Amino acid sequence: MHLMSEPVLWTGDGSPHSARFNDRYRSKSGGLAQASSVFLAGCDLPAGWFGRNRFTVLETGFGLGLNFLATWAAWEVDALRCGRLHFVSVEAYPVAAADIVRSALTASCCSMANPEWLARAQALAQMWHDLKPGFHDFDFVDGRVRLTVAVGEVQTMLGCLDCQADAVYLDGFSPALNPQMWSADTLRAVALHCRPGTTLATYTAARSVRDGLERLGFLVQRCSGLPPKRHRLAAVFLP
């Protein structure tokens, strides 16, 4: 079964939107700012992978790939990085390769001035084609960075995954517009891939998400959000 690329609507100000969910793909403050301050910082990265042979990030909602690219970039410039980085992401509606590159170019005002950043996006885009439902592995940096994309409905793909996450990025469109991504069943499926000490971060501070995580054994902290959002969540799995 061939899966058509999900169309991305690019507005006049260069922001990517989803017609399916009537929502933005990234923060108004910029995609790189969101990846760095919400997801990496929220999961205590890069400090969290110091001294590790292997580190696994699990993400719900690959979108335009900015969280992966930002995590890869942080790993690559870190002298104390782990030996191998495995980034596992679930995505029901993969976008086209051209939109991944366009997003990388417009993620921040300095993206175009960073040749290494653009090279990573282009390396991803070169492999990003014919994504049928199922699992796809992409290797970078001589196999030291691996991206696994699980194409399909979030709960189904989480149930089929065989991985233990050291960090979790809860992403995806807003809980109000895409409730299935944030449902109790989805959060439970995520928790099954966590170990004691797994960190978790998300841009939303919705009470339903916070309560759902706490019921599963996460110690949740509400933190200052990236404007225009007032708050975000950071958590540690302590079942």
Long-range contacts of 210-218 (CB under 8 A, 24+ apart): 212/182, 212/184, 212/187, 213/187, 215/184, 216/187, 216/188, 216/191, 217/191, 218/191
pTM > 0.75: yes or no: yes
| Average pLDDT of the segment spanning 38-56 | 97
CA 96 to chain centroid, in Å, comes to 17
| Average pLDDT of the segment spanning 51-71 | 97
Residue 32, helix vs strand vs coil: helix
CA dist., res. 81 & res. 227, Å (int): 30
76-108 tens-digit pLDDT? 999 999 999 999 999 999 999 999 999 998 886
Per-residue confidence (pLDDT) for residue 175, from 0 to 100: 94
What pLDDT band is residue 3 in, cutting at 50, 70 and 90? low
Separation of first and last alpha carbons in the chain: 39
User: pLDDT > 90: what percent of the chain?
Assistant: 85
Average pLDDT along the chain: 93
CB-count exposure of residue 85 (10 Å: 0-12, 13-18, 19+): buried
Residue 104, helix vs strand vs coil: helix
| Average pLDDT of the segment spanning 16-45 | 92
User: pLDDT > 70: what percent of the chain?
Assistant: 96
Quick one: tokens of 127?
Answer: 């492999």
Q: The sheet that has 16-18: what strands, in order across it?
A: 9-10, 16-18, 23-24
172-229 tens-digit pLDDT? 999 999 999 999 999 999 999 999 999 999 999 999 999 999 999 999 999 998 888 8
Which residue ranges form the domains of the chain, and what is each CATH number?
9-237 (3.40.50.150)
DSSP letter at 212 equals H
